[in-house]
């Protein structure tokens, strides 16, 4: 079995004296998928945000490729470990500018063919590139955010309810994309309330209940 590319050990998040996440540990190898199911308020999204370094941990450690986040640096870590929220914010400008934003930050410029390829990977048409990002629907925003993350060529994707705002057809596009990304070597850690979608993605499945993480059964 491949060694872990991303490992979270004993992650604990305490807010106002309550343990929202209680000593949760997960590890994801390259070319693999790990899903965390749970009801709203169970702590699964909080765990994902802590792993993404968007909120502080009260206890615990996150390692990427065997190194602690602080040894890597937050900027580089967030490029290699990309987080896509359930309700992503769009940057000012059109969709093409949103897709170019990450690479531009590190001095790279994406050409027209590259942004067309990116938007196509998430099942959207090239004519969307000229649309103002602020005018997109919720489902379109989610897919643009995923394409924006892919523009940085991450090795790990952290996905928070990646199909929640999508109709069944669009959800299937995203599920197929996630499976293809894992097949090509990307490590996937996704949280979802959908038992069906977790089963479709396969891989290792966990369940979170009131902040406690446990391995789920293989059957949906």
202 three-state secondary structure: coil
**Any idea what DSSP says for residue 150?**
H
| 83-115 per-position pLDDT tens digit | 999 889 999 999 999 999 999 988 899 999 999
Residue 164, both tokens:
């929640």
Q: What is the 3-state secondary structure (H, E, C) of 11-63?
A: EEEEECCEEEEEEEEEEECCCCEEEEECCCCCCHHHHHHHHCCCCCCCEEEEE
Assess contact for 173 and 122: CB atoms under 8 A: yes
What is the residue-level pLDDT of the chain in tens, covering all 220 positions? 468 999 999 999 999 999 999 999 999 999 999 999 999 999 999 999 999 999 999 999 999 999 999 999 999 999 999 999 988 999 999 999 999 999 998 889 999 999 999 999 888 999 999 999 999 998 899 889 999 999 999 999 999 999 887 888 888 888 998 999 999 999 999 999 999 999 999 999 999 999 999 998 654 4
Architecture per CATH, 6-91+155-215: 3-Layer(aba) Sandwich (3.40)
This model's pTM is above 0.85: yes
User: What pLDDT, on a 0 to 100 scale, did the predictor assign at position 123?
Assistant: 85
Structure tokens at 54: 């968007």
Q: Are 147 and 116 in contact (CB under 8 A)?
A: no
């Amino acid at each position: 079995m491949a060694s872990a590319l991303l490992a979270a050990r004993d992650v604990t998040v305490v807010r106002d004296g309550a343990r929202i996440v209680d000593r949760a540990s997960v590890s994801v190898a390259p070319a693999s998928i790990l899903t965390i199911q749970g009801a709203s308020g169970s702590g699964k999204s909080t765990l994902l945000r802590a792993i993404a370094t968007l909120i502080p941990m009260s206890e615990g450690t996150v390692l990427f490729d065997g190194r602690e986040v602080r040894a890597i640096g937050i900027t580089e870590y967030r490029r290699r470990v990309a987080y896509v929220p359930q309700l992503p914010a769009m940057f000012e400008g059109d969709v093409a500018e949103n897709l170019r934003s990450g690479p531009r930050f590190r001095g790279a410029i994406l050409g027209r063919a590259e942004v067309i390829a990116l938007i196509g990977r998430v099942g959207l048409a090239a004519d969307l590139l000229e649309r103002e990002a602020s005018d997109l629907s919720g489902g379109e925003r989610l897919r643009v955010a995923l394409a924006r993350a892919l523009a940085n060529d991450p090795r790990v994707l952290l996905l928070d309810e990646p199909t929640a705002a999508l109709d069944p057809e669009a959800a299937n596009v995203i599920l197929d994309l996630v499976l293809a990304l894992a097949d090509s070597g990307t490590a996937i850690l996704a949280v979802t309330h959908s038992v069906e979608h977790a089963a479709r993605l396969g891989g290792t499945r966990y369940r979170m209940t009131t902040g406690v993480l446990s391995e789920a059964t293989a059957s949906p």
